[in-house]
Structure 1
Amino acid sequence: ELKALVELRIAHVQLAKGSAQEALSALDRMPANSYAIESQELRGDALVKLGRRDDALKAYQASVSAMGAHASQDNEVQMKIDDLATAGKQGA
């Protein structure tokens, strides 16, 4: 659990520094299903920075799925999903 938390924080720092690929690498080192909500949201953020919109959407959807019954339509991750959908329609 501590390793997962450390990697999650490293990923946050890497993304804040503009190193999206290094953030993804840190997230990949996390044990599976650790901090799923936070790690998938952060993965989506990194993928957006890398221009991988479809992969980002999948990561954001995984984050919302991990929220389960606690997910609401107005949560931050859902807003990011909506933003990607809106941007995709404008770019079409």
Structure 2
Amino acid sequence: MDQIDEYEQGERVRTWLRNNGSSLIGGVALGLACLAGWQWWQSQQDQKLVVAASEYAAFNKAVEARQDDKVAAHAAALRQNHPDTPYPALAALRQADALHAQGKDEEAVKVLDAVAGEHLDPALVELARLRAARLQVAAGKAEDAIKRLDTLDEPAFAAVAAEIRGDAEMALGRRDAARAAYEKALASLDVGSPTRSMVEMKLTDAGGSPTAQPEI
């Protein structure tokens, strides 16, 4: 009986394979094809990141050498060829710093305003906007800076946004508004934040008094 049962079971397996073997083989083949396709796509993405990183390295080298033409060319290449990576935004932030050092704040703001894209990390976009607002305050365009800050409904970098607002309000002579902004900035900063002492100094200059922090 055991031999008969084994024979019947074997026949059932063979029958199932005859009826479903082609589907099984097709499914395995499809799975292997998908796996190969995924590996190819991943390889392509990795290669694109390598190329983008190389372009960004060349950009940094041009910045350090103060080769303005090459800086602009590499930055443009990053925007055009690698818009879905963080490198165009990082390049814009550094390029803006270089332009600011040359006294070209208006050009720096234009570079920062070009930072955008649906695939870009929103935090990088916000950093660019905050940096542009800070440059506008330094360039004597405090009202424009405040308008820019007003577009950030719930800024990820709340302390930075509030500090820049305080700087803009102080530049316009509105000390009460500046104090409120600096107090808001301090409320968003950790006790050990390296920028806390600077914001406290600004609050004091605006006529405020920093709240004493508990000893750690």
* TM-score scaled by length of structure 2: 0.36
2:127 and 2:190 mapped to 1: Cα distance? 21
Segments of structure 2 that go 5 or more residues without pairing to the other structure are 1-122, 209-216
Deviation per residue, 1:20-71 (Å, 9 max, x gap): 0011111112241321111111100000011111010000000000014436
- Say whether the 8 Å CA contact 1:41–1:59 is kept in structure 2: yes
The structural deviation recorded for 1:75 is 0.3
Question: Could you tell me how far apart the structure 2 residues matched to 1:62 and 1:25 are?
Answer: 18
Contact 2:126–2:155, Cα closer than 8 Å, also in 1: no
Distance in 2, matches of 1:84 and 1:16, equals: 17
Aligned residues: CA RMSD: 2.0
| Aligned match of 2:182 | 60
Distance in 2 (CA, whole Å) between partners of 1:31 and 1:6 is 15
- For residues 1-92 of structure 1, the aligned pairs below 5 Å read 1-70=123-192, 75-85=197-207
Equivalenced residue count is 85
Q: Which portions of structure 1, spanning 4 or more consecutive aligned residues, are displaced by more than 4 angstroms?
A: none
Q: Give the letter aligned to residue 78 of structure 1.
A: E
Residue 4 of structure 1 deviates from its aligned partner by 1.2
Structure number with higher relative contact order (C-alpha < 8 Å, ≥ 6 residues apart)? 1
Change (3 A) 1:65 1:71: farther
Query: Does the residue aligned with 1:10 lie in a helix, a strand or coil?
Result: helix
- Amino acid corresponding to residue 84 of structure 1 in structure 2: A
